[in-house]
Amino acid sequence: MKQILTAAAMAIAIALGGTAPQAKPFEEVFPLLAQTGDPELVEDLKRLDFKQGEVQIGGGIAKLNVDPDRYYYLDGKDARIVLEEFWGNPPNPDTLGMIFPIDATPFHSDTWAAEMNFDEIGYVKDEDAESYDYSELLVEMKKDTRAANEWRVENGYQGIELVGWAAEPSYERAGRKLHWAKEISFTGDPENTLNYNIRALGRRGVLVVNFIAGMEQLGEVEQVLPDMLAMIDFADGHRYADFDPGLDKVAAVGIGGLIAGKVLAKTGLFAVALIFLKKFWFLLFIPLGYAWRVMRNRGDGGSGQA
Task: Give the other-Cβ count within 10 Å of 88's Cβ.
Answer: 18
Q: For strands 160-172 and 62-66, give the pairing.
A: unpaired
Q: Looking at the domain assignment, is residue 2 inside a domain?
A: no
Decide: 254 and 178 in contact? Cβ < 8 Å: no
Residues 42-75: tens digit of each pLDDT: 888 889 999 999 999 998 999 999 999 999 999 9
The number of domains in the chain is: 1
- For residue 263, pLDDT over 80 is answered with no
Evaluate whether residue 1 is within a structural domain: no
| Confidence (pTM) | 0.77
Say if CB 306 and CB 277 are below 8 A apart. yes
Q: Are 207 and 240 in contact (CB under 8 A)?
A: no
What confidence score (pLDDT) does residue 261 get? 78
pLDDT above 90 as % of the chain: 47
| Ramachandran quadrant class, 176 (left: phi over 0; alpha: psi -120 to 50; beta: rest) | left
Closest CA to 264 of 279, 274, 254, 255: 274
- pLDDT 10s digits, 164-194: 999 999 999 999 999 999 998 888 888 888 8
Question: Is 281 inside any structural domain?
Answer: yes
Q: What is the DSSP letter of 184?
A: E
**Residue range of the domain that includes 257:** 7-301
Judge whether residue 286 has pLDDT over 50.
no
Mean pLDDT of 226-241: 96
Whether 306 maps to a domain, the answer reads no
Sign of torsion over alpha carbons 63, 67, 70, 71:
positive
Residue 119 lies in a domain: yes
Q: Is residue 17 part of a domain?
A: yes
Query: Residues near 136 by Cβ (< 8 Å), separated by ≥ 6?
Result: none
- Residue 52 covered by a domain: yes
Tell me how far apart the alpha carbons of residues 33 and 43 are, in angstroms, rounded to a whole number. Answer: 11
Has residue 68 been placed in a domain? yes
